[in-house]
Each structure stands twice: as C-alpha cells, then as structure tokens.
Structure 1
C-alpha cells in the first residue's frame, strides 16, 4: 500500500527554497511564528553538501522546525520522516524528528509521543541522517504512535546547549506502509489502525477501521488484551493471538467466522465465549445458527440466556445451536434454592397465589408443591406490589391458605428470562448434566421450538422444563435421555424428562431410560410417536410409575409406534381447579395404536393404561386402543387398563365411543375388548338369560349396549323343539353385577354369541 501512488496523496513538504513562511519555529499550527524574514533562521542558497538548506541558530531550550502544512495520517498507513543535518558552528547539539499531532477542529491530540529518537552530533561538517516512523498502530519500530490523529505538523527539534548553528536539508516524508507490513500482507493488523491492546483503551474504532480496510483479507488481532467498549461487527475473517474483553451488554459479531471456536479464541474463556457467541446470534447478522464445532464447554453455574443477550426479551426468528457438548462442572454452583412461604389460593383466580409471604424470595421458574397441588406447577411471574405469583397450572384442591414449598432447580441453560422466544432449535447437542444440574428451562412464551438429535446425560432433576406456553408446537425428536437415577428403584426416582403446559407437541423417536416420568403433558393435540421409554428396575412386583402423564382430560393425543417398557400411560385431571365434572369436558380424545407394552416381574394389579379422576362425575368419551401388543414377563397381571379411584370413580353410565380392538395379549388374566364377543351357554330351561361379561369390557365396565345376539346351534324349548320366536335384550340389566339380559318368548336352552359394549357408540 502506498497512498502517494494509489490515491495521489501528497505527503512531502515543500523545499525550503520555496520560502520560509510555511516553516515555523513553533509547533506549526496556524499563527505560530515562522522563519520568514525574522527569527534565528535563514535560507542558504548553496552548501557543499546540500543544494539549498535552512540554517538555524539555536536560541530556545528546544529549537523547533515545523512544516505548517497538514500532513495527513491515515489508519493503517505508516510514514517515515527523514532529515539530513550538520552542525557548522557553536556547541555540538542533539537532533531528532518531531511533530505535532492534530485532529478535527485543529485540536491537539494529547497523550501521544511526538518526538523520535535523539541523535548526538559529534563533529562539525559531518552530514547525519535522522528519521522516525509515525503511524496509527503500536507496531514494533514505530516511534510515534498516533492512533487518533488525522494530520501532523512535522520537522525536527534541536536540543542541547544554545548558540549551535545547524544546517537542515529539505525534509522528506514518504509512505513506507508496504515495506513496514511486508511480512503480513495477507492480513490487516488492528494495531495499524490504532488498537493498543492494553486492556483499558477502547479499541472498538480501531477494530472497525481495520475491518473496513481489509477488503477480503483477514483482520489480525495480535497478542494483547483489547477492550471493546462498543458494539463491534467485523465483515471479514478474524484471527486471534490476543484476546478481547468487553461489557456484558456489548455485542461482538464476526460475520465470516461465526462459530464457537472463534469466540473461544477471542475471549479465552469457555463459558464467556459461549455467552458472547449466543449474544451475537440474536444480533443483526448473516447467521441463523451457532456451531459449537464439536467442542465441550464446561460451565460453572446456570447461564441466564436472556441476560446474555441483553435487552432482547422477545424474539421470533429461527435460531439454532448445534454440534457440541455443554458440561456441568463439578465445582459449579448447582444447589437448589428452596423457599417455604404461606399463600392463599382461590379457584376464582385459578392460576394465582395471593398474599404470598416473603414474595421477594420467590423466583420465576420455581416448582410449586403443597397440599392439593398437581405435578409440574411452576411460577411464571411474580407481582411484588400485590404479593402475588402467577402459576403455570391451576391447583386441584388447595383453596384457602397454607404453606407452599417453592424449589428452583439449576439448569445448564435457563431461557426463562425471555418473555417470548419462538423458532429456537437445539441440534446435535449433548447436555452433560453429570447429576449436578438440570438441562434446559424454556422461556415463558413462544411457539415451534425444537430439540433434535440431542443427548441429555444424567440430569439431576429435569431435562426440559416449560414454565409457560413456550412448549406450544414443541418438537422433541430423536433424542436420548439417560437418567442419573438408574441405581434407584422406580419408587425412589424423582427426575422428569419433560413437562408441557400448551398444545401440539411432537415427541418422536426418543429413547428414555430410568426416569420417574417421561413427560407430564397438560395440553392437547400431542403426537407421541416411535419412542422407547424404559423405567423398570430389578424389584420383583415393584412399583411402576406413569411414563407419560396426561393432565388434561380432553387431551386429543395420539400414541403410536412406541415401546412402553415398565411404565404406563396415566390420564388425570389434576390441573383442574374444580376437578368434579361440571361444564368442562371429561376424559376423551385419546388414541393408542400400534404400540408395544412390556412389563417384567409385575404386581398383579399393574396396568398400562390408568385413568385417575381427581373428582366425581367423569366418564370416557372418545378412546381408542387398537393394534397394540401387551406382554408381561415373569408374571401375570389382571387387566391392561384400570381406574385409580384414590379420589373418585368414573360414571360408567355415560361412557361413549370406546374402542378396544385388534390387540394382542400375553400374560393378561382378563383381556379387554370393546365391543366384546361374549358366549353364553344356558343348560337349564329359562326364559330370561342373565349373562355376565367376566370383566372383559374396558375398566371392568358394565354391558350397557348389546349390538347383536347370534345363536350358535339350535335353541330348544321344553319339548326339545327348536325355538324360532323373537327375543330381546336388556343392556345394563344389573349394574352392580355387570350383567345383561336376553329375554325369549319361552323357556329355552342353548348357546348364543353376543356383541356387547360398555359405551354408547353414537
């Protein structure tokens, strides 16, 4: 680079022969005294060494010679100022190149070096050449570093005893940038544009100036600590020998090498690099994904992801973090925060706790437990002025005032500070929780977020937690969830993979091992497809837990193609503030098809499908169980489905649209069908045949509707003649004994096959 050649910039001052009115004995600024017609200097027309020169008698402490013209200083440009001098009389002085650094408005740049090295003159008449290099970068060999100067007044200083007589040849100023930077021509060095790398001077402008000059070359950040006090965006590639420090709220964007490795080189600390790279992901940039480059990032405490971003609390553009590991360091701060506080609950404001004592200690994202509180209820927000908190779900039986426990788990990545975050994806990440931390807490609101092809290894309490509605449309695909509680019995386990408060989840192709629950889902419209979740232990006839817990009665959910191993589908209404059936929907909208259900060493009362109403009056309306395989190992069970009557039973008289068809049963004492084919043989003459179902109907239900009655062979009357007369049926004839009746025109014997339903199919 040579500005004189490429841009026609004039650096050279005029020769002394053109007049001394532009040569000052002061600092060279406008109004300073000149050597023209007065003062201690004259022009010498002829000299044996110089064609023409300035002769100066030293009369000041520092005798200055300065060109009054403004020699421009460009970022990344280096100038060499050269003068040839000789002493012709008086004492022998020292001489040096010197200048005055200026910026816009004629202001002086203070705090910079404005003199080159001094040279002692040792003999009269000896011509000595002195020089100094001036530039914006603190490079080795630069004598005068002027990072913020726009121009300079250059010349020489004569120092030492007065009365020296010195002759000065025409001063030469030349652009030596190409020579000075010849070893790094493929790079642009931030020091050449004023960066100091001292850890305190703001080098932001220098970084951006270097980037502007790079024009496709790499911006080099040499050894040092560079403080960036402003947002900085670099359009060219960057290489780091030094490191960067900057305030938490300032953003550093590298457009051409936006990946975790680059941020690690820039900031030198794994966790800080991740925070700053994530922050840049939300800045205006050319990138929608952060590649962790297969690196393992050790973190020492929960990362508040919204605080890392700064002022952004809502975001709805696709963003991705992919390809790496996030590790909970063993020495980190992972202890739960636990607060016990008295509060009041009313079903009239079903998602609010009021009169909360010690409200300042309650945090967003705390799990709420207490009498009458269902599973996975979290604090969504708090109102300090009103002493109230908003809950993620209503409470089923907590009306009045009581003590509640609030527990805040620590997560590797906590997004709960976001009010809304949509279209955010994790891909190919291993969350190495190590039994110290939970993994992800979702934001308060959002839609269409996704976790795909990820490993969750040993989460302490939770893998993925939703405190609000950011689970709307959440997709969990092809992930592995490996518990920290494999050495515990199923009854002892407490960890949960996932909870959701909203609708339309897609949970597909995951493998889940040894948690208390795979999912607690409070919404509807969910697809649970192709998962294998195993929650067994080695205990003979031990307790088994619900694998997927549905807490919305009208769940509109499909289970298909899953391998459900030593756990069951649990269907409740524990998030209903008035759990007794009123105007709300009852249990319905569940389809279970094409799954494999396995249990080993079971207790006989184990079932794979359990409905648990938390209040009376409920029934089932719309439930299909078709094409599944139910199999026990090392023991039999009574039924594949049952009602947990801890709080209430179902209203069997209102059952509608229930299908149990095409299932395969192994090790089941009473197989379940609806409609059920019931064969009855009457060996004694009777007009009224009272027939039981042997509990083959779902939930040991009653035979309410008889779809068909077909004789198998002849029906014989008392005269041993065939009876061809009519007959009719009474479904639900004796509800207490679960029987129905077939009534003939006369007493007969024989065998009939009846198609019986426990529900009203219309």
Structure 2
C-alpha cells in the first residue's frame, strides 16, 4: 500500500450491522436520504452467503447506494471499490460501482467519470462481484480518473434497469491498490498520480509541482507522453523521463538532483532546446555552478542566442561554467552571414561612433565593420536606431567623413552578444565543431573574467572567439586549440581569425593555432601572452606570411614570452588610434618580447619576425625589451629579424627611448642586430676624427642616438708611432643621413677600437 498517502486514513466503510444511517439512497452527501428511513432497505443479519447484508427493493430506474463517509482521494493513491451482489426475487437489474466525486469544498467535480462497468444479474442467488478503481492520475487500469482537484468521494453502487426486484448487497470494500501502478512504490512516484495528462496541450504544471512536493527524495517518473508546462517547474527529487515536456521560452525547468544536459535532452527530446533550457536553469539557480554536457555531442541547426534563452536577464555576474561535451554545426542550418552595406559618417572626435547611419535597422549588433580607414576586428557594439548611431568596439584610424561601410554579422555557435554584461563565465573541455559553416563564440558587450579553457575550436568559417565590446576584460584563454578551415589556402587568401580582444588584462596562454590569417588581434593593454604555438605557413616557395599576433594599440604594457611563432610574425601597430599621427603620449611603449622561438621556412627574404607598423607619422619606440629569443630561418635566408612596415609612415628615429635588444640568437638571418650594438673599427691612417658607419646592426636599421663606450684594442699611435693615452670624445648621428659616429682624439692617431652604440637616447 501507498503508506505515504493513506497512512492514518480509514478506507473501509462501517458495516451495515452498525446501522444504515451511514448509507445513502441518494448521492451520499450530507442531507441526502439514508436507507435507515427510506422504506426500501433493510438489514439482513444472517444471509447464508454474506452474513450481514443490505436488502434493497429497487424502486428507481437508477437505485443508488452511497457510503456517506468521505473516502479521501489523494495524489499517488489509487482506491479500489468492490461490492458483491445477488438477486433475490423479482426483476433482474444490472449493477455497477458508482460514486460522487467531490472537491474540497464539497462541490461535485464536473466532467469526470463517476460510474464503472455495468454488470447484469442473470440468476437468482448467483453472487456477482463488481469493482472499479478510482484515482487522480490517468493511468492504465484506472476506471474513474478524477484529476488533481479531487479531494474525496462518496462511494457505492448503482442498480440499473426495471424496478421491482429485490437484491442483497454485501458490505462494501474499499482498498488502496496503488502498488498495482507503481513498480517500486518506495522509490518512484508518477506525475500522472498528481493529475498530469500528457496530451501536449493540457497545462500539467500544477501536477508536476505537486509531484515534486510529494516526492520526499523518491524519483519522479515522467511517463510516455508529451507534457505541456506553461509555468516554472523545479524538481528537488531525481527525475526519470520516459516522456517529454514542452515549455514556453520564459518558463524554467530546474532539475536540481540531476542537473546535466543528458537529463534535459531526455526531457525535451531535442538537443538544441535542451541546451537552451539547461542554460536558462543554470542562470536561474543558486544550487549549481556548472552545466555538465555529459560528454554529449549537441547538433546545432543555428546559433544559440543565449540571452534569448534567458529572457529574464540581461546581465549575469556570478561564476558559472559549461563543460565536457561537443557542439557540432549541421549543414542546412541558419548559418548564412548577414551582410549590409550602408553609408555612415565618422569623426575622430567621436572615435567610437558612426553617425547618420543609413538602413540602421538592418544592421545587427555584433556585425564586423569594414571600409576605408577601418582597422582589423572592428565590430558594432550597440546601436541607437532613434538617433541613427552605431557604437563601435574601437576607433577607426583614417575614416573621417562619410563613406559606405560593409557590416557582416557572422553566425556563432554560442552567442552571448544579447547580454549587456556576462562576467566570471567559464567554458572548458568543449569542442566547437564549426564545420566551416559558422564561427565559435561571440562574447557579451561587457564583463570581466570570461574564461575559455581546454577547448577545441575546429574549422570556424570566420572567427573562433569574437569580442564585439568589453566582454573580454581580464579574459583567460588557456590550453585551447584553434584549427583553421583554411589549411590548404595560400596565406594571402586567408580571412579567418582565431580570436580578438578589445579590453585590458587578457591572459592568452598555452594555446595552439593552425594556419589562420591571424591567431590573435589584441587591442587593450596589460596582456600576458605566453606559451602559445601558432603556425601560418603554406607550401609556396619564397612566400609571404601573415601576422600571428597583432597588438592594435601603441601603448601595450604587454608581455610576449615563451611562445613558438612558426611561419608568422608579431605585429605592433597603432591602428586603434583615432589620431594616428603622434601628438602626445608614450607612442610605441612598454612591450616585453622574451624567450620565444621564431621559426620560418621557405619565406621571402623580406620576411621579418617582429614588425612595427605606425599608422601615422611621428611615432617612436619608448620601452621595448627583446631578449633571449631564437630567430631561425630554414631553407633560405631572410634579411632581418625585425623591421618597420612603412605602408603608412616610418618611425621617428631621433626619439627612440629605452630599447633593449640583446641576448638573442640569429640563424639564417643575414643581419643580426642588437641594442646596445658593439662595433669593432680599425683606423689604418692617422686621423684626429675617426668616421665610423653604424651600418645595419641596430634594430629596425635605426641610427645611433647615443654611445655608451669606446674601448681601445691594443692602443692607438700617433704619427710618431707613440701611444696616445688621451680619452676621445664622441658625436652621434653624424653624416648626411645621420648614420655615422665620430670619435675625436686630441691628435691624429691610428689603431683599433670597439664602440658601443645605442639606437636610443637613454635607458630609464
């Protein structure tokens, strides 16, 4: 028996021997007539078959017998009503179990079955047994389903047919038969026991909530069927889904005891919908900090708009994680890039805004922006349609005035862009199988400490990870692998980018990237880029290479250390400067490039591993440490390890400050460089002023701005062949092209010296 529901309840009616006042000839409710005074019923104390029995003379077309006691009808409890009847004389009627179904206020429940199967009495003295099962739930074998509003019943029988017959009825039996419907009554309860219908239309929310309340740590069974839930449902007990549920977007299903994706897939029988609802529950639940994908592969037919899945939130700043699974894009899905070309106006005085934007309603937030004077990885961060204005994630370098811009909204597997803020969010141990159909992850407009760890982003169509605003502040990208869809494409034709950032303090560590156009385009400052391996070559002999890591702001304050830069180069630009011509500030400053492996093979001789690219005149280097690196070219020499890309402007070599370029090794490099740079010079004829060319040995082919030391090798002699012990003085930046150092003696001398020259004026 279901002791949880019937414990303490008296089900068996009082016997007829205790008086017939407890038995009604009506519906059994208070005030209905009883057989004690009806005139057509009498107690027979010694029937040969029944012992005590009620003898009834049938006088109505439907002669009722109802126990006046209130038999409780509770969720999870199934009641069997049983009666034995025999005909004594007269016309032979038919008999059935019948009842009055009552709500808690005593009113009858409309629209439910209150009678059982009709059984004829065919012979006098023959005992006929009738029975029926009554319960809340629509279970197979239940004769009368009364639903969740049932509270009690007045139970008994009906005699139907011609009048005038006399029958005797044994004491009515009422038993709890719940065990017939539950395989393990102690461990499992069924939502149907609480009134769930499962027809896909009826709202079963209340029944699910009632089942959860009654579970007491037992497993809640959701049997075969489709159960519509129009409201929030929380299960504190374990669940077992044999059927499925459907819910509106706003409704939350929270499975507290088995909160993982496989259970949500069982619940919704659709991987995408299950992922959305599980994510919704993750952000609306304080009991779980992570969603376990359970090692499942989730097939996606389009982007997952994560904010749309959690419509009640536009920001979330509590630690949450999704881990342990695979997302795969399916062909034929909604992956096509939305492309809009529209006219807009840009002004450097309002450097992150496009104004007077035509057709702005068609331009999605998160769109990539391209056009004349637009740097790499510029995106639409937000828009104001009323003012026809777009806010960008960064300034443009040379787009003053009005022009046509192209806006491309790439499609991402996981798209957080609908959130104003997402902070402290982690994705780890997930493979994003983009299948060359879509991109990987789009971050929110703002937020700190987003982390992507131990993930594979495989063959993205356009981008691996995109930040369209400040959602990358303090971001961690660690131990991830980015596998390009452009392996077989020449470097010059590649367009995919593994990741970009716009905000400060990003940690990009121990990742591997294969043959993208760029591994990382990084605006912002104070980044730590360590332990990564990225390679971007192709099979073209003497071919070009693209930048692996691009720093898009001149003031970097960044460490680039212990990376393996394979057939790619490190590029330092100021393309996010709204006024690219230098007028104030630190210029190209505060960058540490140490202990890296730089390797190339079969590249053009013009290739270099470190490229500084000013987007306007007047810039200089003001704080650069390049030390302990290994530069090597195989299958052909390259001219220099470093250079300035003068496509827009050259550096101002007269203002170099605090440059350290030493302790590096060069193999297959025609011109090793160092700063400070030691020049050995032999003066074979007597001269008071020795003219020493600095040559190409200073980094970036710079001039010598200062001289640290002059050391005499073996002494210098004058015309009389006598040693000269005077200290000379020096002048830097001499000659018409300022590429000479003058060492000036007290007299004309000859000999050999070592001069330590610097490309910078000071080391402070």
Tell me the TM-score normalised to structure 1 length.
0.96
The equivalent of 1:181 in structure 2 is 182
How big is each residue's C-alpha offset from its partner over 1:384-415, in whole Å with a ceiling of 9 and x where there is no partner? Answer: 21111111111111121111111001111111
CA contact (8 A) 1:449 1:475 kept: yes
Counterparts of residues 352-431 of structure 1 (less than 5 Å): 352-431=353-432
Counterparts of residues 571-650 of structure 1 (less than 5 Å): 571-650=572-651
The equivalent of 2:65 in structure 1 is 65
The 1-side partners of 2:348 and 2:181 are apart by: 78
The 2-side partners of 1:387 and 1:649 are apart by: 37
The 1-side partners of 2:51 and 2:643 are apart by: 114
How big is each residue's C-alpha offset from its partner over 1:230-273, in whole Å with a ceiling of 9 and x where there is no partner? Answer: 21121222222222222222122222222222222222122222
CA contact (8 A) 2:632 2:669 kept: yes
CA contact (8 A) 2:6 2:176 kept: no
RMSD: 1.9
The equivalent of 1:698 in structure 2 is 699
Which stretch has the larger CA shift, 455-464 or 24-33?
24-33
Counterparts of residues 445-594 of structure 1 (less than 5 Å): 445-594=446-595
CA contact (8 A) 1:203 1:227 kept: yes
The 2-side partners of 1:421 and 1:707 are apart by: 52
Cα distance change, pair 368–45 in 1 and its aligned pair in 2 (3 A): same
How big is each residue's C-alpha offset from its partner over 1:615-655, in whole Å with a ceiling of 9 and x where there is no partner? Answer: 11111111000000000112212211111111111111111
The 1-side partners of 2:237 and 2:5 are apart by: 25
The 1-side partners of 2:195 and 2:232 are apart by: 17
How far 1:729 sits from its partner (Å)? 0.9
How big is each residue's C-alpha offset from its partner over 1:315-339, in whole Å with a ceiling of 9 and x where there is no partner? Answer: 1222221111110111212110000
CA contact (8 A) 2:261 2:291 kept: yes
The equivalent of 2:433 in structure 1 is 432
How big is each residue's C-alpha offset from its partner over 1:511-555, in whole Å with a ceiling of 9 and x where there is no partner? Answer: 111100000000111111111100000112212111100011111
Q: Is 1:743 the counterpart of 2:740 in the alignment?
A: no
Cα distance change, pair 34–347 in 1 and its aligned pair in 2 (3 A): farther
How far 1:690 sits from its partner (Å)? 1.7
How big is each residue's C-alpha offset from its partner over 1:149-202, in whole Å with a ceiling of 9 and x where there is no partner? Answer: 121121112222233333323322122223553566532222223222222222
CA contact (8 A) 1:4 1:175 kept: no
The 2-side partners of 1:5 and 1:481 are apart by: 58
Could you say what secondary structure the match of 2:279 adopts?
helix
The equivalent of 2:277 in structure 1 is 276
Could you say what secondary structure the match of 2:448 adopts?
coil
The 1-side partners of 2:84 and 2:420 are apart by: 70
Could you say what secondary structure the match of 1:263 adopts?
helix
Cα distance change, pair 5–291 in 1 and its aligned pair in 2 (3 A): closer
The equivalent of 1:115 in structure 2 is 115
Structure 1's unaligned 5+ residue stretches are none
Could you say what secondary structure the match of 2:470 adopts?
coil
Which stretch has the larger CA shift, 23-32 or 720-729?
23-32
Counterparts of residues 66-465 of structure 1 (less than 5 Å): 66-148=66-148, 149-181=150-182, 185-465=186-466
Could you say what secondary structure the match of 1:212 adopts?
helix
Aligned length: 762
The 1-side partners of 2:369 and 2:18 are apart by: 89
The 2-side partners of 1:199 and 1:154 are apart by: 32
CA contact (8 A) 2:138 2:195 kept: yes
Cα distance change, pair 153–545 in 1 and its aligned pair in 2 (3 A): same
Could you say what secondary structure the match of 1:301 adopts?
coil
The 2-side partners of 1:9 and 1:184 are apart by: 18
Could you say what secondary structure the match of 2:654 adopts?
helix
Cα distance change, pair 96–340 in 1 and its aligned pair in 2 (3 A): same
Which stretch has the larger CA shift, 747-756 or 317-326?
317-326
How big is each residue's C-alpha offset from its partner over 1:482-511, in whole Å with a ceiling of 9 and x where there is no partner? Answer: 110011001000000000010111111111
The 2-side partners of 1:663 and 1:49 are apart by: 111
Which stretch has the larger CA shift, 551-560 or 167-176?
167-176
Cα distance change, pair 127–4 in 1 and its aligned pair in 2 (3 A): farther
The 1-side partners of 2:147 and 2:741 are apart by: 98
How far 1:34 sits from its partner (Å)? 3.9
How far 1:142 sits from its partner (Å)? 1.4
The 1-side partners of 2:450 and 2:609 are apart by: 30
Could you say what secondary structure the match of 1:69 adopts?
coil
The 1-side partners of 2:286 and 2:2 are apart by: 33
How far 1:126 sits from its partner (Å)? 2.4
The 1-side partners of 2:702 and 2:246 are apart by: 70
Cα distance change, pair 5–111 in 1 and its aligned pair in 2 (3 A): closer
The equivalent of 2:10 in structure 1 is 10
Which stretch has the larger CA shift, 488-497 or 30-39?
30-39
CA contact (8 A) 2:5 2:77 kept: no
Which stretch has the larger CA shift, 204-213 or 491-500?
204-213
The 2-side partners of 1:164 and 1:515 are apart by: 95
Could you say what secondary structure the match of 1:638 adopts?
strand
CA contact (8 A) 2:415 2:443 kept: yes
CA contact (8 A) 1:4 1:11 kept: no
How far 1:4 sits from its partner (Å)? 9.7
CA contact (8 A) 1:253 1:285 kept: no
CA contact (8 A) 1:78 1:134 kept: yes
Cα distance change, pair 154–574 in 1 and its aligned pair in 2 (3 A): same
Could you say what secondary structure the match of 1:418 adopts?
coil
Could you say what secondary structure the match of 1:470 adopts?
strand
CA contact (8 A) 1:16 1:43 kept: yes
CA contact (8 A) 2:638 2:668 kept: yes
Cα distance change, pair 2–9 in 1 and its aligned pair in 2 (3 A): same
How far 1:51 sits from its partner (Å)? 4.1
How big is each residue's C-alpha offset from its partner over 1:116-155, in whole Å with a ceiling of 9 and x where there is no partner? Answer: 2221111123232211111222222211122211211211
How far 1:301 sits from its partner (Å)? 0.8
The 1-side partners of 2:342 and 2:108 are apart by: 64
Could you say what secondary structure the match of 1:654 adopts?
coil
Structure 2's unaligned 5+ residue stretches are none
Cα distance change, pair 609–257 in 1 and its aligned pair in 2 (3 A): same
The equivalent of 1:28 in structure 2 is 28
